Amino acid sequence: MTSSASHTADTVDQLQRKLVAAKAENDRLLALMAKKEAQWEAAKQSLFEQLKLAIEGRFGPSTEKYRIEQGDLLINEAEVAVDEEAAAVDDETAAADEEVDTETPAPRKRRTRGGRLALPPELPRVEVVHELPEDVRYCEEDGTELKVIGQEVSEELHVVPARIEVIRHVRLKYGCPACEEGVQIAPAPAKLLPKSNASATLLAYVATAKYQDALPLYRQSQIFARHGADIPRNTLARWMVQTGGRLSPLIEALRRHLLQAALIHMDETTLQVNVEADRKASAPSYMWLQRGGPPGQQVVLFDYDASRAGRVPVRLLGDYAGRLVTDGYEGYAEVVRRNGITHAGCWAHARRKFVEAQKVQPKGKTGKTGKADWALNLIRKLYAVETQAKLFDPEARQTLREQKSRPLITQLRTWLDKSVNQVLPKSALGKALHYLDGQWQRLTRFLDDGMIPLDNNPAENAIRPFVVGRKNWLFSHTPSGAHASASIYSLIETAKANGLSPYEYLQFVFETLPRLGEDDDLDTLLPWHWKDTLPG
């Protein structure tokens, strides 16, 4: 009897253990299923956001202006309040914002639609006087001869089409008619490309058309042919490569000036080079950009390199130890660490990620402001402070930032700490939050230095013409062509940064550079020195 009861108890105990094990396994499977469902949901949401951003990029407006309803500009505090301290900061920041908004200059008045703009006064004028026929210059009443009592003037733009002509350099020879010895001849004019028949004007024209106006060389060849000059594309390409090589000394003079700047902007973009040793034609290469210098003496330099590694900024910056503004790419970390550079981030990049998040955030939040909207509002207010401080000296700008920007940064940090773990990391909003968190130290460095700007837009603006041109001419055939393009882009963008006409500056350089001797100072060719010699 006892043995039977003991056996029954053992059986029940075994069944209970099996039941517990089965329940644990079931819970494990349910947890695994829930985890998988969460992963699938996150993947589905990520794919949906990618699709929506792709459609927006293809068919939406190409602007980063973010869409915020007027009623949301005050921000729904119930959405973002974290504690009483944050609310107190909000009150202080709101007061600062009111001051910023009232001191922000009013937007410029737009020209009335359909109105006619006055023609630029600096354009040359050719007067065409329209006279009355002689037989109608008499009064119909008494026959008295009419006198001029005034005039009506109207203007129209007139274009003189391009004309190709040949300049014949005739060098006269002199000799003694008696002994027929000592023949002398006038020296040949100095040329940028001595063995070519291209003038400095033609080279400047081709370079400006390709590198400023993004007109590929094969199209230029067709245009020249229509004007009666057969210049093959290969010839034009050879001229540009040779021209870029001749500019190397001037580029180095610009580089020396750049590395003396208190602050440098840097950026990089891809470039395809078809024929390069030990590399596939499809392998990405890079065009690096640096920009810096005081107002009126700005330098913009392009440099080609097959790599995007950190050794490239090390090579380009040398022993530079000033301030460096870049995007979030970590390739600059090595030169920053090695040289002790003050490295600042770019708020435009941070804002761009929240703009993308805004485009895919759920709709229908009546009376609420999305997280992306909230971040964009605070970033907008940071830029409003910068607008107010645009003309300030660095010390005054830093003082204003301490008063108005720092409370905004404190508020944004409090919100970020609360929000960064509340969203999926791979979602558009999650990427924006993690980028902001990861770049925080660089992004807030502007608070302690009035010389550091809020973003890297000067570099992006300078590199944009290269990106636009790349869509037209697509690639460089060889590294030498890429280096030549970098040199010519450098001169064109440096001229533009200093308010000069790229074509006129290139023409000046191409005409003057061949006439300089080894001991002549190349600094005389720098844009701000040439600008001083221009007629007022």
Task: Name the pLDDT band for 388 (thresholds 50, 70, 90).
Answer: very high
Task: Convert the pLDDT of each residue in 98-150 to its tens digit.
Answer: 444 444 444 555 555 556 678 888 888 899 998 888 888 888 888 888 888 88
- Note whether residue 314 is domain-resident: no
- Note whether residue 81 is domain-resident: yes
To 10 degrees, the CA torsion angle through 188, 191, 195, 198? -120
Which token pair is 65? 């202006």
Q: CB neighbours (10 Å) of residue 527?
A: 23
Q: In angstroms, rounded to a whole number, what is the distance separating the alpha carbons of residues 462 and 258?
A: 15
Q: Is the pLDDT assigned to residue 259 strictly greater than 60?
A: yes
Most confident of 59-63, 275-279, 434-438: 434-438
- Note whether residue 328 is domain-resident: no
Which token pair is 465? 């013409």
316, 486 Cβ separation under 8 angstroms = no
Q: Is the pLDDT assigned to residue 97 strictly greater than 60?
A: no
- Structural domain count of the chain: 1
Annotate 238-261 with b (16+ C-beta within 10 A) or e (fewer): bbbbbbbebbeebbebbbebbbeb
> Domain range spanning residue 397?
71-96+358-455
Which token pair is 238? 């050879």
Give the three-state DSSP class for 443: helix
Tell me, what's the pLDDT at 60?
Answer: 59
Tell me, what's the pLDDT at 91?
Answer: 47
- Note whether residue 447 is domain-resident: yes
- Note whether residue 536 is domain-resident: no
- Note whether residue 193 is domain-resident: no
251, 303 Cβ separation under 8 angstroms = no
Element (H, E) at 184: strand 184-185
Which token pair is 45? 């949401």
- Note whether residue 19 is domain-resident: no
Task: Name the pLDDT band for 251 (thresholds 50, 70, 90).
Answer: very high
CB-neighbour burial class of residue 215 (10 A; exposed 0-12, middle 13-18, buried 19+): middle
Q: For residue 306, what are the contacts with CB-CB under 8 A and spacing of at least 6? A: 273, 276, 279, 283, 285, 286, 479
Tell me, what's the pLDDT at 45?
Answer: 63
Task: Convert the pLDDT of each residue in 178-219 to its tens digit.
Answer: 777 778 888 888 899 988 899 999 999 999 999 999 899 999
Nearest to 191 by CA among 229, 243, 151: 243
Least confident of 287-301, 347-361, 452-466: 347-361
Q: In angstroms, rounded to a whole number, what is the distance separating the alpha carbons of residues 372 and 359?
A: 9
Give 340-379 as a 3 state SS string. CCEEECCHHHHHHHHHHHHHHCCCCCCCCCCHHHHHHHHH
- Note whether residue 8 is domain-resident: no
Cα 37-40-42 angle, rounded to 5 deg: 110
Nearest to 389 by CA among 110, 150, 105: 105
End-to-end CA distance of the chain: 123
Please name the residue that has the structure tokens 């007067």: 127
